Amino acid sequence: MIGRNDPCWCGSGQKWKKCHSPKEPPTTEQQKLAQHYYKNYRIVLKTPEQIAGIKRACKLAAYILDETCKKAQAGVTTNEIDALAVKLHKENNALAAPYHYGEPPFPKSICTSLNEVICHGIPNDVPLKDGDIMNIDVSCILDGYYGDCSRMVKIGEISPDKQLVYDVSHECLQRSMEVVKPGAKLHEIADAIEDCAAENGCSVVHQFVGHGVGLEFHEPPQVPHHRNRIQIPLAAGMTFTIEPMINAGVAEGKIDPITQWIATTRDGKPSAQWEHTLLVTETGHEILTLTP
């Protein structure tokens, strides 16, 4: 149930009692669905106006990801790439969502996760070198709306196990996005990822999940990439990420006790990840973090 002091199901950010309830019950079918999704799952189905704002944030995130990936070459440090991201956020009147996010506050504006780092790598002064693979993760806030995406880059010649996770994580994301349409169950996303990883002898990280995104950085639902039984049907207006982390060895990771952020594989074998923000539409889905 929605309490009178809970945020309204419409995503206005106002209290339910001050917004749509009880004086203004949902009228259209989409509003009824939105109330159902908020009551049952705390998922906000976005309005056309919210979708327009989220699309702008996603386009900017994809653009910044493009530019930072272009800069990723041997000899360049991840701090230099972070500095480029800072500049591009500023130029576009946006904020980097990771900056000072969480506890302890994330210290940089993007995540740069190399080789055995699963995710939440912190930019530093070590130059990239031949044989590295790296995920760059860009999340930006534009006019209060959020967009989130990440991608892998290769530096020079890479080993076969790095090439494997590079390719398989990409194929896992592609195949999982294909299932996204109204009525598909949330677990079908993970089914597609697990099947693809298993076919290629790779493992799927459990510890970190995709997530609703748009009005906040991380909103319901969680979108696990590993096998699960979540029966929530996808519905038009949902916006969420899929961001599978695929390992060459074991699925388990460990978190660096010093930074409390950097997650690496337990066996030190390589890991790779790709991420998009998606919108569920009446007929299927739209990938919001593509560049033209």
Contact residues: ligand MF3, CB under 6 A: 98, 101-102, 106, 111, 120, 137, 139, 148, 150, 211, 243, 275
135 binds, among Co ion, ligand MF3, none (CB under 5 to 8 A by kind): none
φ, ψ of residue 123 in degrees (nearest 5): -55, 145
101 binds, among ligand MF3, Co ion, none (CB under 5 to 8 A by kind): ligand MF3
Q: With binding defined as CB under 5 A, does residue 148 bind Co ion?
A: yes
Q: Least CB distance from residue 108 to ligand MF3, whole Å?
A: 8
By C-beta, is 116 or 275 nearer to ligand MF3? 275
Burial of 43 (0-12, 13-18, 19+ CB in 10 A): buried
By C-beta, is 123 or 244 nearer to Co ion? 244
Q: Least CB distance from residue 217 to ligand MF3, whole Å?
A: 7
Tell me the site size for Co ion, rule CB under 5 A. 2
- Which residues 234-253 are close enough to bind Co ion by CB under 5 A? 241
Q: Least CB distance from residue 140 to ligand MF3, whole Å?
A: 11
41 binds, among Co ion, ligand MF3, none (CB under 5 to 8 A by kind): none
Q: With binding defined as CB under 5 A, does residue 219 bind Co ion?
A: no
By C-beta, is 35 or 139 nearer to ligand MF3? 139
Burial of 49 (0-12, 13-18, 19+ CB in 10 A): exposed
Q: b/e string for 86-118 if b means 16 or more Cβ within 10 A?
A: bebbeeeebbbbbbeeeeeebebbbbbbbbbbb
51: phi > 0 → left, psi -120 to 50 → alpha, else beta; which? alpha
